[in-house]
Amino acid sequence: MPTKGFTTKAMHAGEIKFHPESMSVPIYQSVAYPYEDAREAAEIFSGDKPGYTYGRWDNPTVDAFERRMADLENTESAIAAASGMAAIFLLCHHLLEPGDEVVSSNRVYGGTFGLFDIGLPRMGTKVNWVTQPDSVDAWAAAITPQTKFLFVETPSNPALFIADIPALSTLAKAHNLPLVVDNTIATPALQQPILLGADMVIHSTTKYICGNATSLGGIICGPKEIVEGIRQNGIRYLGPSMAPLNAWLNLNGLETLALRMDRHCHNAMVVATFLEGHDKVNYVNYPGLESNPYHKLIKPQMKGCSSLMSFEMKGSYEDATKFIDALKVFTHATHLGTNKSIVTHPASTTHSVLGEEEMRKAGISPSLIRFSIGIEDDEDLIADLTEAFDTFGK
């Protein structure tokens, strides 16, 4: 639906005619799809006739979600997976052969870090980390003849690194390599990497896209040739497919995504401004703040800064955990991108897989606290924060 607005597409793109007509895409809770006759089965399997074959690699509800996501991310095709990590793994499995390499910013989610650092060598492949991802020269220096793609998570979790996507795209094109963007934190409502020069986009749909912490999911949006290759040779034999119910929950999430992201961005700005002015805070990582080094990159590539932020408390690891325990409206959980505000302690949870040195390089200190700001009333969030800080004395 190239001529329609984002929210119209988020509700209608990829629609398939269902009989009898239904307001919502039905949940096809089925692993197989009976054929009229043997001829039809053969035609569907050979691709001569459109249709569904077996639930591990296709399902009508999942198909509707894939089409909608492809439309929203401006790609030819998309393939959904059981989780964000499954999507990243399927991509690596498809694009890499033994001896091949990935070049990635080291500012990535802990699971991605683990997959690249521990999982890739088990496949005879490896990552070349870019430890200064602000510098395009550092990216260029990490590329070798074995590099098969560039991977960047932007904004990154939890350090809020923002990549200059057009600059990385120029570099990738000069080396004839695809640029893959993990767009989980921004979502296509705020950032559309393909329009900025990226070649593929992946998401953990578990986060803002689903929006209410009810289902794990992931998706790869990209050229049809790659997506269908992953369907035929990846998901079909490895098996991490998205469940039909989860696709349905994600379709529902997409309908309100743009509205929710507006509110997430508003609330996050209110909280970040409050934290920045607080005397118990060393610094705040939120690109919406003018003081943030990435602030200038936002306007040309993002409609808003989403709602993930991190900040360092003055004091020790114990002070950070005391503060976390004092919060009442915020939920303490290892999640982000959901309607409810969440507080997380990355060093002891999401990023504990990183060693001390790697954590330091990735900007994660023992008193760093991560917030995923939800869509509650902003004054209630500020009151909760004020009370938690006051437990240290006014």
Ligand X SMILES: Cc1ncc(COP(=O)(O)O)c(C=O)c1O
The footprint of ligand X (CB under 6 A) covers 83-85, 109, 111-112, 153, 157, 182, 184-185, 204, 206, 216, 218
* Least distance in angstroms from the C-beta of 349 to ligand X: 11
Q: Exposure string (b/e) for 130-164, b if CB count within 10 Å is 16 or more? A: beebbeeeebeebbeeebbbbbbbbbbbbbbbbbb
Nearer to ligand X, 124 or 239 (CB): 239
Q: Choosing from 33, 35, 52, 56, which is the catalytic residue?
A: 56
User: Which amino acid, 335?
Assistant: H
* Least distance in angstroms from the C-beta of 387 to ligand X: 28
Instruction: Please indicate whether residue 303 is annotated as part of the active site.
Output: no
Q: Choosing from 9, 63, 68, 109, which is the catalytic residue?
A: 109
**Rounded to 5 degrees, what are φ and ψ at 103?**
-105, 125
Nearer to ligand X, 44 or 162 (CB): 162
Pairwise CA distance, residues 275 & 279, whole Å? 8
* Least distance in angstroms from the C-beta of 83 to ligand X: 3
Instruction: Please indicate whether residue 207 is annotated as part of the active site.
Output: yes
Nearer to ligand X, 64 or 81 (CB): 81
Q: Choosing from 9, 68, 207, 370, which is the catalytic residue?
A: 207
Instruction: Please indicate whether residue 377 is annotated as part of the active site.
Output: no
* Least distance in angstroms from the C-beta of 216 to ligand X: 5
Q: Exposure string (b/e) for 264-298, b if CB count within 10 Å is 16 or more? A: bbbbbbebbebbbeeebbeebbbbbbeebebeebb
Nearer to ligand X, 9 or 107 (CB): 107
Which of these, 258, 155, 243, lies nearest to 209 by C-alpha position?
258
Residues 6 or more apart in contact with residue 34 via CB below 8 angstroms: none
Nearer to ligand X, 99 or 239 (CB): 239
Structure token pair of residue 61: 């509800």
Pairwise CA distance, residues 240 & 207, whole Å? 18
Residue whose beta carbon is closest to ligand X? 84
Instruction: Please indicate whether residue 182 is annotated as part of the active site.
Output: yes
CB atoms within 10 A of CB 316: 11
Q: Choosing from 71, 182, 199, 384, which is the catalytic residue?
A: 182
Nearer to ligand X, 154 or 389 (CB): 154
Pairwise CA distance, residues 179 & 194, whole Å? 9
Active site residue ranges = 56, 109, 182, 207
